Structure formats: C-alpha cells, structure tokens
Amino acid sequence: MIEVSGVTKAYGDKNVVNNISFKVEEGETLVLLGTSGCGKTTTLKMLNSLIEPTNGVVKIDKKDITSEDPTQLRRKIGYVIQDIGLFPHYTVEQNIAVVPRLLKWDKAQIKKRSEELLEVLGLSSSWMKRFPNELSGGQQQRVGIARALIADPPVILMDEPFGALDPITRKQIRDEFKNIEAFISKTIVLVTHDVVEAVELGDKICLLHDGAIVQMGTPKDLIFSPKNDFVKRFFDNQRFMIELMVMTLEDMIPVLESRNDQKPEKLQFTKETSLFNALECVEESVENDIAIEIVNENKKPMISTDREALLRAFYGTKDILSKNRATA
C-alpha cells in the first residue's frame, strides 16, 4: 500500500507538484494521468526517492520512505521507464539480473528466475545472450518489464511504459500486460498521458493538472461524473470508445432486452467483459446479427441478446448513470 500525504515539490518559486495526497491499496493499479508538465512523472519519482519532496510524506506499507536508504528502497520497487533504459553493454540476461545481483542472489537462482520470467513474457530463452540493440522495441520493453519484475517486488512504478512503442505493439503489450499473473497482485502506479491506456489499465485514475489533483476515482467516476469541465473535456476526444470500455455487460442487464431465437451460433461473454470488447468481437465475427449470451462466474447463462439491444441498453444505462450522478 502506498500513501501520499500533502506532498509538494518546488523548483525555485514554482510548485511543480502542489500539496497532493492519494492512496493506492494493495494489488490496485493507479494511473497518474495528465498532459505534459502536469507533475505526474515528478510525483512518480517521489515514490522511490528519485526526487525528494519539498514537503509532505510518502509511506509504503505504512513506513515513511525517508527512513530507509534510497538505494535499498529502490531495489524493492520495480521500475519501468519510457525510454526502457536497458544497459546497452549488458546482454538481456545481464540486464534482467541487475537487481538480483545488487541483492546478491546466487547465480543459479538468478538464471532460473530469469528463464521463468522470459517465458511468461513471451520471449524465448535464446534471447538471453543477445544485446538490447539486437531486439525490436517491443522485445526491449518486455525485457525492461522482466527486469522490473524479477525480484518480485510488491510495488511497481511505471513511467509511460509503452510510450516508446508503435500503436500496434503498444496495444499488444498492453493486452499481455493486463493478463500477466505476475502483475495482478502487484500494487502499481503508472504514469501516462493516453486516456485509453489509463481507462484500460487503471483500477483508479488520478487526473493531474498544474501539479494538483483535479479528480481521482474509478474510470467510470471520471467519465460519467466529471467534477468539472476540465475533466469532461479531457476524455472528450475518444469519449465513445472510452464509455464502451468502462461499462461492463453486467451494467447493461437492468435495461437489456432479451432475445430468444434458436440460432445455434452464438458468442458467449462473462458479465465482467467490457462492452467495448464484446462489441469488438461481434465486429470481428462473420455475422453481425449473431446472438450474444452473457454468463455469470459459474458459466451459467444469464441472458441472451444481440448487438442492437446492447447498444440500446448502453444509451439507456448512460442516461440513468448520468442522472443518478447528477442528483447525487
């Protein structure tokens, strides 16, 4: 668990980060979102003492981080950066082994763990002896992630981790990333300026502007009940897609019309599936008018419907959500 209270960072007269506080629960992913210069990277770097706050306290697992030697602290926190920052004079193997070597693990243990991780990340162990410049951008970033994960740190900080990749590789690695077991239990703080990425990866989003928090909450909170015009406008660009992404099929059920035709062909989704993913699958299937079945956690069918009905339900739910939030 990470607890940030009243943290300020000033350079000269200017407060780059101005009195911000937030909490990240264990196993949760918090996205620090904002435009360039909003203070998100500075905030991130204060979490592992790369930058010292002018004021305020950062606690990890209830311990003030200044009570620990910064180098010791950083060895226990995974760190992934935008430029990847692999050491060009080290092989993949040596790059991954940096932190374990600092922690003085024995060689066999390092090797075993490295191989495991590479496999999880979809890299063959034949890459071990190669140098970073022989890898593609996507492969390099996978190695960068492996490097952050190897010592199994409970907390991982990621600064625009997919920023250096082309859009296709980026989406692909993001999808893998979401599904990697090793990440699911981690407490993660991730910096990005990409709203789609924020919505897709964040359990919570903390929207920053001019060094201050504008709004913090679940993606749904920020999208359907923006605190002010700034928040609303921030998501306007890809609003439709984002709205589809934050809503799950379960959200639709109260207003969803069922359809009971007996077509043998149907698509099946769990109720946690986002509306966006479900519709995407429909688009990819041969037949647009295919039947859609929503199942619960025990794979028991809950309702059967189709694309048209889902979309109608989406607008209906949206209206209700907006009204509810407005009155609340």
Shortest separation between residue 99's beta carbon and another protein, angstroms:
5
Is residue 110 involved in binding another protein (CB under 8 A)? no
Q: Contacts with another protein in 124-153 (CB under 8 A)?
A: 147
- Binding segment (CB under 8 A) for another protein, from list 25-33, 94-102, 110-118, 177-185: 94-102
Is residue 275 involved in binding another protein (CB under 8 A)? no
Q: Which is closer to another protein, CB of 78 or CB of 219?
A: 78
Shortest separation between residue 205's beta carbon and another protein, angstroms:
23
The pair of three-digit structure tokens given for residue 30, joined into one six-digit string: 């918090």
Residue 123 DSSP label: -
296 vs 203, 252, 270, 301, CA distance in Å?
Answer: 21, 14, 6, 6
Is residue 24 involved in binding another protein (CB under 8 A)? no
Pick from 256, 261, 246: which is nearest to 302 by CA? 256
Shortest separation between residue 83's beta carbon and another protein, angstroms:
3
- What is the Cα–Cα distance from 152 to 201, expressed in whole angstroms? 20
- What is the Cα–Cα distance from 163 to 186, expressed in whole angstroms? 21
- What is the Cα–Cα distance from 158 to 29, expressed in whole angstroms? 11
Residue 285 DSSP label: S
Looking at 89, 104, 299, 300, which residue binds another protein (CB under 8 A)? 89
Strands (DSSP E) contained in 146-263 are: 155-159, 187-192, 204-209, 212-217
Is residue 104 involved in binding another protein (CB under 8 A)? no
Shortest separation between residue 44's beta carbon and another protein, angstroms:
10
Q: What are phi and psi of 73, to 5 degrees?
A: -55, -45
Q: Which is closer to another protein, CB of 102 or CB of 184?
A: 102
- What is the Cα–Cα distance from 195 to 48, expressed in whole angstroms? 25
Shortest separation between residue 85's beta carbon and another protein, angstroms:
3
Is residue 43 involved in binding another protein (CB under 8 A)? no
Kind and range of the H or E element at 77? Answer: strand 77-81
Q: Which is closer to another protein, CB of 132 or CB of 219?
A: 132
What does the longest C-alpha to C-alpha distance in the chain come to? 71
Q: Which is closer to another protein, CB of 151 or CB of 208?
A: 151
Shortest separation between residue 81's beta carbon and another protein, angstroms:
6
Binding mask 47-86 for another protein (x = CB under 8 A): -x-x--------------------xxxxxxx-x-xxxxxx
Q: How far is CA 245 from the centre of its chain?
A: 13
- Binding site residues, another protein, CB under 8 A: 48, 50, 71-77, 79, 81-89, 98-99, 102, 147, 157
